[in-house]
Chain A
Amino acid sequence: MTFSDSFFASKFGLSQGDLEAYLSLALSQGGDYADIYFEYLATSMIAIDESIVKTATQGVSLGVGVRVISGERTGYAYSDDLSPEKIRKAAKVAAFIASGPAKVDKQPLHEGIKRNLYPVLTAPNEMGFVERVDLVKRAEKAARAYDTRIFQVQATYADSLRHVLVANSDGILNFDRQPMARLSVSAMARENGGAPQNGHAGGGGRVELSFFLNEKTPEHFAGEAARMAIVQLGAVDAPAGESVVVLGPGWPGVLLHEAVGHGLEADFNRKGTSAFSGRIGQQVASPLCTVVDDGTIANRRGSLNVDDEGNPTQRNVLIENGILRGYLQDQLSSRVTGNAATGNGRRESYEHIPMPRMTNTFMMPGESDPEEIIRSVSKGLYCANFGGGQVDITSGNFVFSASESYLIENGKLTRPVKNATLIGNGPEAMKYVSMVGNDLKLDEGVGVCGKEGQSVPVGVGIPTVRIDRMTVGGTGAAA
């Protein structure tokens, strides 16, 4: 597709000349760099609860954001009205971050790379609603059918189609069509009038609707959610204190996201406020650990053809055999520090200033057999599934909550344990990784990452991993 056939050109009559004029105006007060970001977002959501499809919502939002960088300063303004007057007003407001005569020779715009990591012909929200309603109905039915002790089921299907256009004063002009869909199921189980227990599962990606019919069906997610709720019925108190922890493959990769990912975002490192600042080339993890952030994996939730600053995403090695190799860059940090762009400049919407963010973050597989990893532990905790996590990037302390875990006793998984928070210190915890499995798995596609009030979709992944020391926040005896 060429620019003239693109969404904003054809629907809103935007021309390259218009874009160049807006950028010139943005730079008229002497800024070093300017970009303009157009976004059109259509969303829909359907939810079933108590066997009733109670909620169905759809809508659109659109707008444009103009940014000007002057040294390390950023000026930003946006408008939800795409009329030329309003865009010019936003450009003028953003321009005020600089003061002086225009000084940048703006490059003529040229269209950037053409690739499609998510060749979705018909996005799910371009389909009729009947097929999508059926997904939540099937999920609800399957979760209830799983076990008579399941007494509440909620299933939510949500999708979106985002059209973006980015142009900047370096001459980059990129546009993209970004589909996304997700199905999530939550089930509650109860027995003999005891406390109810939760199970959650979900997934999706930048996929066609057929993904939920052929690859990951509503029954798959429903079965997982119901199974987890039933498992929790027999859970004992989680241990308290330091323990050997084995992470199962897949979603527990959220450990990497919290323990190292955020700490390697270039904004914190440029400012020297991350526990990883100034540590490039140093050993920050066990030599068994190679951690990658890759925005180019086909159809994944965290993938993008171009980031929200118009740079192509790529595969970035963050930690190689335990040695810190690089940071995740956005336009501002790469300009200020003289590093190449890594395709990690992302923003929640046109109302937000881009920041360095993760895409799909995972650990490369090692050599160990997962069974052998569990057998190696005489006393410890096996975490099969997590809820979310959080990190204080300055001290490096991070947490995540284990939503499905089991005691390991004499090399075997024994009893399920209640939800508990695990805490560690980023640059330290990864040094205690003593075994890495050969079973790398990416998560099923549910991740949402929050930073400074902005949420973006991300992916994580990890093989089975043994960590010799982490603190488990239960109330029971030490494991």
Chain B
Amino acid sequence: MIDLARDVIRQALAAGATDAECTISEGEEFSAQVRLGELETLKEAGSRGAGVRVLRGKHTGASYTSDLTPDGIERMVAAAIQLAEITTEDPFAGLAEESEFGSIAGDLKIYSSDVETLATAPRIEMARRAEKAAFDFDPRITNSEGAGFDSRLGHRVFANSRGFAGEYRSSSCSMSVVPVAKVNDKMERDYWFHSSRAFDQLEEPESIGRKAAERTLRRLGSVKVETQRVPVIFEPRTARAILGGIFEAVEGRSVYRQSSFLATKLGERVASENVTVIDDGTIPGLFGTSPFDDEGIPTRRTPVIERGILKSFLLNSYSARKLGMKSTGSASRGITGNAGVGHGNFYLEAGTRSAEELIGSVKNGFYVTELIGSGVNIATGDYSQGAAGLWIRDGELAFAVSEVTVASTLQQILMSVEVGSDLEFRGSVASPTILIGEMTVGGR
């Protein structure tokens, strides 16, 4: 495949491109879904695609195809060249800086062969066991949207006309359960999951099923509370939404377009002393890890906020040139087009107090276990989302709450946050439990 990528580059240069970059992606997916103990869905297939981005001077054009035959590739290259005719000259357009190309050496543990060799029957059996554990946990679990076992294998190749050529394989497998509980006429559902790069690191199906059941049950009997301003705790799963908002506010494009509330705050205090946010694409075995970014620049560890001070934005080569800074190895794209900005493992560093201590410190407040809707305005920092969870009374989780909203601004959230100690990576964005001094809970 890396030869095909080099060949695409050669063809693009021959067709009149002054520079070119090519991405090829291959993937295989397997999924088994079980519901009420019976196999429901089995899916298995693979696909691949190639994309090319060309420059003619400072004009860019891009195209992609799933047809990797010589004819298909030729048409793809011609299509990109054609589009470079219609784009405007952009003084900042280009490839990444040649001096920065590279790839992290060593085993990043993002590919594990045990995912590839799994037989179908045991995968179905694991999903079945996870769902059964949820049902066995409590008789109020009366129904299920099913349990799934999914696995993916990926192969990514990137090459450009300035001499970078690299490739890496990745694997993942995951298990999830969605139990439904019913009491009287009210139904609730929740889910739990685990995913890992290697099959042998996947949690036991029973523990996933029990956790899913527990989460579902604690939502039963929920009430809508009165509108009030109180301390709010986000558990790790929901705290990720806040962290996702911070990522959008520090990614290069929103910075150079001045469309982020953090765009002018580099070097300033934007959060409480407790807040250190890191982006790290190099941690072995995690989902945000890769040897190089989608422009051929090695990934790295970038402190974004350090003890409350905004230290760095996350940049690809284009936004770096626009801002007069250096790329942070954060380029991200599908298989074609100008690279956007993505993150590696983007996380809030753990604090010292446990989740129990944080809950214990709140007299009257809201513990958020579910968020619904997209409610972050990066330009202004305004934050408002639908929420469900548990009410905290005198330091204890007291009763279930649903159909309410939580609102504040990211600025105020960051300034008044306390960070728990329970950091765990269940995806490429991770946060410990966080306690926000005060937010508006909208209810009755």
Contacts and interface: CB of A to CB of B under 8 A. Distances in A.
A476 to B, nearest CB: 8
B163 to A, nearest CB: 25
A61 B68 CA distance: 10
A97 B42 contact: yes
Contacts of B143: 271-273
Query: When A and B form their complex, which 5 residue pairs have the shortest distance between CB atoms, in order from nearest?
Result: A473-B405, A241-B227, A59-B64, A399-B373, A399-B386
Nearest to A418: B382
Contacts, number: 255
Interface in B32-82: 35, 38-45, 47-49, 51, 60-67, 72, 75-76, 79, 82
B379 interface: yes
B377 A419 contact: yes
A380 to B, nearest CB: 15
Contacts of B84: 56
B86 A130 contact: yes
B125 to A, nearest CB: 16
18 contacts: A53-B88, A56-B61, A58-B79, A133-B86, A188-B259, A188-B379, A190-B258, A240-B227, A273-B187, A351-B47, A391-B372, A418-B377, A419-B375, A421-B373, A421-B384, A421-B385, A423-B386, A474-B384
Interface string A434-448: 000000000000000
A240 B440 CA distance: 7
A367 interface: no
B379 A195 contact: yes
Nearest to A65: B45
A280 interface: no
A76 interface: yes
A49 B258 CA distance: 13
A455 interface: no
B8 interface: no
Interface in A351-372: 351, 353
Interface residues of A, number: 78
Given A52-B89, A423-B372, A475-B407, 9 more contacts: A55-B87, A56-B83, A196-B380, A271-B35, A273-B144, A391-B372, A395-B402, A419-B382, A424-B403
A251 interface: no
A190 B442 CA distance: 29
B386 to A, nearest CB: 4
A394 B178 CA distance: 11
A348 interface: no
Contact of B41 (A53, A73, A238): A73
Contact of A195 (B88, B261, B373): B261
B86 A397 contact: no
A60 interface: yes
B160 interface: no
Interface size class of B (residues with CB under 8 A): 35 or more
B209 to A, nearest CB: 17
B44 to A, nearest CB: 5
B83 A473 contact: no
A399 B372 contact: yes
Interface string B359-399: 00000000000101111010111101110100000000000
A54 B66 contact: no
Given A271-B145, A388-B373, A388-B374, A53 B87 contact: yes
Contacts of A382: none
Contact of A392 (B144, B189, B404): B189
A273 B377 contact: no
A93 interface: yes
A395 B443 contact: no
B353 interface: no
Given A59-B79, A72-B40, A471-B405, A54 B93 contact: yes
A90 B79 contact: no
A76 B43 contact: yes
Nearest to A397: B403
A422 to B, nearest CB: 8
Given A240-B440, A351-B47, A96 B42 contact: yes
Contacts of B39: 73, 97
B86 A129 contact: yes
A74 interface: yes
A434 B126 CA distance: 50
Contacts of A151: 258
A196 B86 contact: no
